[in-house]
Amino acid sequence: MPVITNIEDLRILAQKRVPRMFYDYADSGSWTESTYRANSTDFEKIKFRQRVAVNMDNRTLRTTMAGQEVFMPVAIAPTGLTGMQHADGEILAAKAAEKFGIPFTLSTMSICSIEDIAAHTKAPFWFQLYVMRDRDFIRRLIERAKAAKCSALVLTLDLQVLGQRHKDLKNGLSAPPKLTIANILNMMTKPRWCLGMLGTPRRSFGNIVGHASSVSDMSSLSSWTAQQFDPTLSWDDVEWIKKQWGGKLIIKGILDEEDARLAAQSGADALIVSNHGGRQLDGAQSSIAALPGIVDAVGDKIEVHFDGGIRSGQDVIKALALGAKGTYIGRAFLYGLGAMGEAGVTKCLEIIHKELDLTMAFCGVTDVKKVDKKILLPGTF
Ligand SMILES: Cc1cc2nc3c(=O)[nH]c(=O)nc-3n(C[C@H](O)[C@H](O)[C@H](O)COP(=O)(O)O)c2cc1C
């Protein structure tokens, strides 16, 4: 067993253990992947100011995100097909998040269902909603999230149409995977993954199959998804969803200052600066480059959260310094999950926590709520 000291170690192990189709699904962006790459490389340009002889004792990373107390300002981002990175993946990640004291967000396109997560955890989790044309299905999904006592609804606005990821098309991505010769040969090299999958009944889209009309098998699901994501989605729909839900609302997928102002006007509790991890509009700005302008545009009218490209606690603190009140990790936790299941997600959270804590200390700050631009080197952001 290799010694795991950083997120890259988890990625390498996940690549060994997860079937190619699902590893590629996680580790890819749309088209040329330029935005996917920029999400990470733009972080590297930002430099810290090292401070010395400052009392660095008694540090705390505790704060709140959308009114909820968190052990550190990092939540698990919603990711589709997580139960294909590892058997029962969403349940395992939710358990790791609960033990760590941070929010877990369940995707609409998850393998484990809303009810599965509620049955295996005690802490309230967050539910991410994609808006589909079938408004009755959306209404029922919202009711199910309420019944499961979800404490926030994360409404994703940047996937009215789907960005093209070449590898998914070439690999013939599906859940469960089709038993082609190429897939069988590849899966034979991933015995742990296969064993896990044989031991769970959860192998298709748990929130959808059996809940949406005319979806009973996977072949009709893929065409249903393609037809169902609603290209007409507007701010009026956001208002309708806000009314249906009636609880904390977080708007995900904001990359433009004008849209950020509209999100603030919508009365949502928070917005997430996000380009969907570089999976939608290739050629769009990196999330970290978009963050300062959005923070300036909305002021304190709405809480600003951030995701995209976070692979370390140092990336988290850079986003906080530029005005985010909380952050989300997507691939970082997926690599942990694919590498080692629940223990891998916990490892990912421990790594990020330690890097965040030590970096804050080096910059001479002891309370994460006090992190601001002053910890960054002028001219590098
Ligand atoms: C494999 C994968 C699946 C995703 N599925 C969803 C999803 O179902 N809903 C959603 O709102 N965002 C989804 N996202 C976007 C993430 O929520 C998040 O915005 C992104 O992963 C952040 O970038 P990072 O992976 O660099 O941390 C997905 C991302 C990945 C990598």
Per-residue pLDDT tens for 22-47?
999 999 999 999 999 999 999 999 99
Tens digits of per-residue pLDDT, 215-236?
776 666 667 777 888 999 999 9
Which of ligand 1's atoms lies nearest the C-alpha of 78?
Answer: 17
Nearest CA to ligand 1 atom 15: 276
Contacts of 237 (CB under 8 A, 6+ apart): 131, 230
Contacts 24+ apart (CB under 8 A), 288-291: 288/39, 288/42, 288/43, 288/46, 288/315, 288/318, 288/319, 288/322, 289/38, 289/42, 290/255, 290/256, 291/319, 291/322, 291/323, 291/324
The mean pLDDT of 147-162, rounded to a whole number, is 96
pLDDT of 219: 64
Q: Determine the topology of domain 7-375 in CATH.
A: TIM Barrel (3.20.20)
User: What's the CA-to-centroid distance between 302 and ligand 1, angstroms?
Assistant: 22
What is the best residue among 160, 165, 279 to mutate for testing ligand 1's pocket, by most ligand atoms within 8 Å of CB? 279
- Asked whether the predicted pLDDT for residue 325 surpasses 90, the reply is yes
Say what the pTM is: 0.98
Q: How many C-beta atoms lie closer than 10 Å to residue 255's C-beta?
A: 24
Under the banding of pLDDT at 50, 70 and 90, the label for residue 333 is very high
Query: Residue 318 in contact with residue 376, Cβ under 8 Å?
Result: yes
